[in-house]
Structure 1
Amino acid sequence: MKHTLTLLLLFCSLQTLRAGNADTVSIPSAAMHRSYKCVVVTPASYKEGTRRYPVVYLLHGYSGNYANWITKVPAIKELADTYQCMIVCPDGAFMSWYLDSPRDSSMRFETYVGKEIPAYIDQHYQTLPDPRHRAITGLSMGGHGALYLAMRHPEVFGAAGSMSGGVDFRPFPKSWEIVKLLGEPGEDGANWTAYTVMAQLGKLKPGTLSMVIDCGVKDFFIDVNRALHQQLLEKGIDHDYTERPGQHDWNYWGNSIHYHMLFFHRFFQ
């Protein structure tokens, strides 16, 4: 019994040593004239200072913040170490949808997350500063944001993912305060169309963006994800698409992130 306990303690110690390190930093935005907090996870080997690392940008959902992922899924520290990459969790200001709002100049989150934060991270950390070593993913609002930003900024991101992503919010005209960002939706959401992931598909060319997309079969976003999958198939755009048991909650996302990190690891390799 004593020998078994010793081995268990040794195993736990080794697991702890293999976990990455999480720090909270403040990153300024010239576009919005203010700073937001951001969690930066580095692998344990980062302290050695002898190499550069790929980066996965991990976005939170509506009503969330920069600390959601590290609080709800602390295993991302272990994933950073397992896959020898950095994980950066920016703040999307509760309800930005990672858009540059045409109505509110204080909401410029396409510019902030799509350009300013990657530039800051590359300047202050040991990164591999090119699209071949940058990926972006997120949950719900963040799933929309990840695909939207990657499709619009291929010079920044080479791979993207979406977990339970709100890839088309036109069917939900009264939800998530989108009207504050974009104004009234108009007939069939026509005024919002240009800001959806669906509207960005024309920017994609086969082989230019590696994508992993999944959604739970009981999720209220399952229909819009199925529609996105179908359009990608029709356009001949390669992507990984999965439906799994689950709904719109942290149980699903805490499981899903493991698949996304493996996908990005293979992309970086």
Structure 2
Amino acid sequence: MKSKIQKRAFLLTIVLFSTGLIFASRVDTVRVESKAMHKTIKNIVVVPDGYQSTKTYPSVYLLHGAGGNFKDWVTNAPGIKELSDLYKVIIVCPDGGVTSWYYDSPVDSTYKYETFVTKELLGYVDAHYATIKDKSARAITGLSMGGHGGLYLSLRHQDLFGAGGSMSGGVDIRPFPNNWDIAKRLGTLQSQPENWEKNTIVNMLDLLKNSSLKLIIDCGVNDFFYDVNSNLHKKLLEMKYPHDYTERPGVHNWPYWKNSVKYQFLFFNEFFTRGGISKMK
């Protein structure tokens, strides 16, 4: 049986294609200085059609996966521009390095991507765009490594993000000690096991308090990250922590994520309009 989120996203797809709506969102490439890493980093900011600096808008930070870069989402899933227009939301696509895992690495001081996204980039976006500068109007999600990043950063920075998500995320890194340069960011599992234990999502759930962080998680049933996502869901159920979890046919690829992102943005929009921004008024 389809969830309410799935049904609404399906109806949204029908509306978009049947009405022939024309979208005119603007895509900016912005260079942001990272003092923490002593370099300038490119990022993409998508602003909706009709954007005005005299109004304010919620924002969604959309993270790429391992091997990717800041252009991945607009290149491989251009439909996110339509989502920006539809929901009147600013989308921020950071460059998270090829395999940063969005960590401030405890073993390599040149990798401080947690600081970059949550302080340097977020500060730049809030200073240069008409964002609503409150966690009730800010969400973060991503795919694969970026799914890990979406949950990792939202769990650790609940003062900044009111909602966090993951699509096909690496939500437990421990079964993959030799993959995707994780050992370069944390040290090897054998030599630095404590780094792996405290920096994997399934072991960070004690940071959740009072249902304050809204969570959406999904993964394809044929994805190599399926088991760790299913286990994360079970742990959240044991905690009785409210969250939106979906598993559907699919593998670890762009056709899955192009479909998945529609559900996630619908979830975030409902958070912004019902559970988030509305409480500020």
Amino acid at match of 1:246: G
8 Å CA contact 2:105, 2:186 repeated in 1? yes
How high is the TM-score relative to the length of structure 2?
0.88
Measured after TM superposition, the shift of residue 188 of structure 1 is: 11
User: After superposition, where does 1:143-182 map in structure 2 within 5 Å?
Assistant: 143-182=147-186
Aligned equivalent of 1:7: none
User: After superposition, where does 1:76-225 map in structure 2 within 5 Å?
Assistant: 76-186=80-190, 190-225=194-229
Cα-to-partner distance string for 1:96-152 (whole Å, 9 max, x where unaligned): 000010111110011111222111100110000000000000000000000000000
Amino acid at match of 1:100: D
Separation in structure 1 between the aligned mates of residue 227 and residue 18 of structure 2, nearest angstrom: 42
Aligned equivalent of 2:21: 15
Measured after TM superposition, the shift of residue 33 of structure 1 is: 1.4
Aligned equivalent of 1:261: 265
Measured after TM superposition, the shift of residue 13 of structure 1 is: 11
8 Å CA contact 2:186, 2:192 repeated in 1? no
Aligned equivalent of 1:66: 70
Aligned equivalent of 2:50: 45
8 Å CA contact 2:53, 2:129 repeated in 1? no
Separation in structure 2 between the aligned mates of residue 266 and residue 13 of structure 1, nearest angstrom: 23
Separation in structure 2 between the aligned mates of residue 172 and residue 114 of structure 1, nearest angstrom: 26
Measured after TM superposition, the shift of residue 206 of structure 1 is: 3.0
Q: How many equivalent residue pairs? A: 257
Measured after TM superposition, the shift of residue 187 of structure 1 is: 8.3
Rg larger for: 1
* Residue aligned with 1:45, SS: coil
Measured after TM superposition, the shift of residue 14 of structure 1 is: 6.8
* Residue aligned with 2:218, SS: strand
Structure 2: stretches of 5+ with no match in the other structure = 1-16, 274-281
Identity across aligned pairs (percent)? 54
Cα-to-partner distance string for 1:138-184 (whole Å, 9 max, x where unaligned): 00000000000000001110001100000111001110011111111
Separation in structure 2 between the aligned mates of residue 190 and residue 233 of structure 1, nearest angstrom: 26
